[in-house]
Chain A
């Protein structure tokens, strides 16, 4: 019986095949830590230029260019680009802003729209050939976006309801016996200040992280199993099929997560604007 070498064995290639006697190189969290192309040290802080930051810059440019180009001619009879831009705008306005914020929602459409399309296209980078890395699977990006959202609704809430009322309306939910407030008020405060933004960031990050890991596993399996044997051919074809199906599924998740992220942003902004009763 031949001994299967572990995938980390120095005599094994990085991506071996089944018949090479090397084990399956199962992907792990390391695939999310890409080699930086350059590191700039500005004012004692390290700024890393890598695939992720270049992709993020690219996504910003794509989204901005699309909307600028779509809004540029502004004809009465819209062309294809303009009507696509209008559809995108109306989707965010009618399905997210007006649906959960109400009539005050319209002034948040630019913010919500930028968020939705930035997150969506960033996620989509996970399946676009050549890019194949969902930007939101780097925790820093969801955290930065969530921080922006967090500061926005905290500011709006304290401005429209007053700082005290903003916190008390969240801390003392209706329909609860007064004595329970001793136990429930700190819990609600913690959920408002800490767990709400944390879960919003983690939800987006974890979905993109898991999806990318899953796709990588099956793609690598399809490659690894290619070999002149029954199990190799069967396994490789199956893995490839699963990869194709999962890619479709992943694209659905990418859109869904971008939608949920934006919807929650709208929910929190709406909650800050209108005190709970």
Chain B
């Protein structure tokens, strides 16, 4: 068991990893809602509702996936640099 007050260097990584798995679901929902909703609004204004909703939803999903990809790559870079630092010590 770890002693009281000891540092927990992994807690940031652990949190990011746990967060990432669930966050992607939230991002996908947010993307669909936001850009699908925007498509719906544009459709209300200009007609061609179905085209705008479809395009908006796809844009939302693509953006959410891109966001997940960008975050995971950023996480990956952080881990590798800290691993390298550990190796050098």
Report A's interface with B, CB cutoff 8 A: 90, 94, 98-103, 105-106, 173-176, 180, 183-184, 186-188, 190-191, 194-196, 198-199, 263-264, 266-267, 270-271, 274, 277
Known interface pairs A196-B26, A199-B29; A187-B64 also in contact (CB < 8 Å): yes
Q: Which residue in chain B gives the minimum CB-CB distance to A186? A: B34
Identify 17 new A-B residue pairs, CB closer than 8 A, beyond the known A173-B74, A267-B22. Answer: A98-B11, A99-B8, A99-B11, A99-B14, A100-B15, A102-B8, A102-B11, A103-B6, A105-B8, A173-B71, A175-B71, A176-B70, A183-B59, A187-B30, A187-B31, A188-B30, A267-B19
Contacts of B26 in A (CB 8 A): 191, 195-196, 199
Please determine whether A100 and B18 come into contact, CB atoms closer than 8 angstroms: yes
Contacts of B11 in A (CB 8 A): 98-103, 105, 270
Known interface pairs A103-B7, A191-B26; A270-B1 also in contact (CB < 8 Å): no
Contacts of B5 in A (CB 8 A): 103
- Distance between A92 CB and nearest chain B CB, rounded to angstroms: 14
Contacts of B8 in A (CB 8 A): 98-99, 102-103, 105
Please determine whether A195 and B30 come into contact, CB atoms closer than 8 angstroms: yes
CA distance A152 to B14 in the complex (A): 21
Residue B23 CB within 8 A of the other chain: yes
Contacts of B59 in A (CB 8 A): 183
- Distance between A272 CB and nearest chain B CB, rounded to angstroms: 11
Enumerate B59-75 residues with CB–CB distance to A below 8 Å: 59-60, 63-64, 66-67, 70-71, 73-74
Known interface pairs A99-B14, A103-B7, A264-B18; A175-B77 also in contact (CB < 8 Å): yes
Please determine whether B18 and A187 come into contact, CB atoms closer than 8 angstroms: no
Contacts of A186 in B (CB 8 A): 34
Residue B89 CB within 8 A of the other chain: no
CA distance A198 to B22 in the complex (A): 12
Contacts of A183 in B (CB 8 A): 59, 63
